[in-house]
Structure 1
Amino acid sequence: MAHVKEVAAGSATEVVTEIVTEVVSESASANDTVIRWGIVGTGRIARRFAQGLAYVPNARLAAVWSRRAEPAAAFAEEFGGEVCASFDALLESGIDALYIATIHDSHADYAIAALQAGVHVLCEKPAALNQPQLLRVLDAARAAQRLFMEAMKPPFYPLYRKLRAHLNADPIGTAGFARAGYSMSGVPAGQPVLSLEHAGGGLLDIGVYGIFFVVDWLGAPRDVQTLGRLGPTGVDTFASLNSLHERGGISQVFCGLDLQGKGDALLMAEHGHVTIHEPWWNPARATIRYADGRVVELAEPFEGGGLNYETAHFCELIRAGQLESPVMPHSKSLQMIAMADAARAALGLKYAGE
Structure 2
Amino acid sequence: MRPIRFGIIGTGSIAQRFFAGLMHVPNATVSAVYSRGGAKARQFAAVHHIPSVFDELDDLLASHIDAVYIATPHPSHAALSIAALKAGKAVLCEKPAATSLADLDEVIATAQAAGQLYMEAMKPPFFPIYQLIRERIAAGAIGEVHFVRAGFSNPNVPAGHAVLDPAQAGGGLLDIGIYSAFLAVDWLGAASEVHTLGRIGVSGVDTFASLNVQHEHGISQLYCGLDIAGSGEALIGGSAGYVLIHDKWWNPAKATLVTAVGEREELAIAPIGSGLNYETAHFCDLLRSGELESPMMSHAKTRAALAMALRARETLLGIAQ
Structure 1 pair 349–152 and aligned structure 2 pair: CA distance change class (3 A): farther
**Matched ranges for 1:143-154 at <5 A:** 143-154=113-124
TM-score by length of 1: 0.88
User: How far 1:87 moved relative to its partner?
Assistant: 1.1
Instruction: Indicate the residue corresponding to 1:315 in structure 2.
Output: 284
- Is the counterpart of residue 53 in structure 1 residue 44 in structure 2? no
Q: Does 1:185 align with 2:143?
A: no
Aligned twin of 2:88:
118
Q: Work out the CA distance in 1 between the residues paired with 2:318 and 2:68.
A: 30
Q: Give the aligned residue type for 2:298.
A: P
For residues 117-139 of structure 1, give each alpha carbon's deviation from its aligned partner in whole angstroms, at most 9, with x where no partner exists: 00000000000002111001001
The answer as to 2:134 corresponding to 1:134 is no
Distance apart, 1:80 and its partner CA: 2.6
337-346 or 64-73, which deviates more: 64-73
The 3 A distance-change label for structure 1 pair 85 and 67 is closer
1:292 to 2:261 alignment = yes
**In the alignment, structure 1 residue 343 sits paired with structure 2 residue 312:** yes
2:151 is the alignment partner of 1:212: no
Within 1, Cα distance between the matches of 2:48 and 2:248? 27
Q: Partners of 1:320 and 1:287 in 2: how far apart?
A: 35
Deviation at 1:349, TM superposition (A): 5.9
Whether contact under 8 Å (1:61, 1:79) holds in the other structure is no
Using the TM superposition, give the Cα deviation of residue 344 of structure 1 relative to its aligned residue in structure 2, in angstroms: 1.5
Distance 2:185 2:49 in 1: 37
Q: Distance in 1 between matches of 2:146 and 2:164?
A: 34
Q: Which runs of 5+ in 1 are unaligned?
A: 1-31
Partner of 1:14: none
* 3-state SS of paired residue (2:176): helix
Matches within 5 A, 1:192-341: 192-247=162-217, 249-341=218-310
User: 2-side partners of 1:148 and 1:280: how far apart?
Assistant: 25
- Per-residue deviation, 1:78: 2.0
Q: Unaligned stretches of 5+ in structure 2?
A: none
Q: Alpha carbons of 1:314 and 1:349: their partners in 2 closer, same or farther (altered >3 Å)?
A: farther
Cα separation, 2, equivalents of 1:73 and 1:281: 32
Q: Rate the CA distance shift 1:323–1:349 in 2: closer, same or farther, 3 A.
A: farther
Deviations 1:1-41 (A, max 9, x none): xxxxxxxxxxxxxxxxxxxxxxxxxxxxxxx1100000011
Shift of 1:217: 0.8
Query: Is the 2:129–2:254 contact (alpha carbons within 8 Å) kept by the matching residues of 1?
Result: yes
C-alpha separation between the residues in 1 aligned to 2:190 and 2:146? 13
Q: Which residue of 2 aligns with 1:9?
A: none
Do the aligned residues in 2 keep the contact of 1:264 with 1:278 (CA within 8 Å)?
Answer: yes
Go from structure 1 to structure 2 and tell me whether the alpha carbon gap of 1:258 and 1:68 turns closer, same or farther (over 3 Å shift): farther
TM-score by length of 2: 0.97
Asked if the contact 2:36/2:55 (under 8 Å) is kept, the reply is no
Aligned to 1:95: 65
Q: Which residue number corresponds to residue 13 of structure 2?
A: 44
Name the CA distance, whole Å, in 1 between partners of 2:40 and 2:183: 34
How many matched pairs?
318
State the 4+ residue runs in structure 1 displaced beyond 3 angstroms.
none
* Cα deviation 1:252-272 (Å, max 9, x = unaligned): 110001111100101111211
* Structure 2: distance between partners of 1:88 and 1:55: 29
Q: Secondary structure at the match of 1:226?
A: strand
Matches of 2:141 and 2:290, distance apart in 1: 34
> Residue 75 of structure 2 is aligned with which of 105, 110, 129?
105
Cα distance in 2 between the residues matched to 1:270 and 1:173: 5
Give the CA deviation at 1:170: 4.0
SS in 2 for 1:313: helix
- Contact 2:211 2:312 survives alignment (8 Å): yes
Identity %: 55
What does the per-residue CA deviation read over 1:90-141, in whole Å, with 9 as the maximum and x for residues that have no partner?
1111110000000001000100000000000000000000211100100110
Once the two structures are TM-superposed, the CA of residue 68 in structure 1 deviates from its matched residue by 4.4
Looking at structure 1, the residues matched to 37 and 14 of structure 2 have their Cα atoms a distance apart, in angstroms, of: 16
Residues 236, 349 of structure 1: 8 Å contact kept: no
1:67 CA displacement: 1.8
CA RMSD of aligned residues (A): 1.2
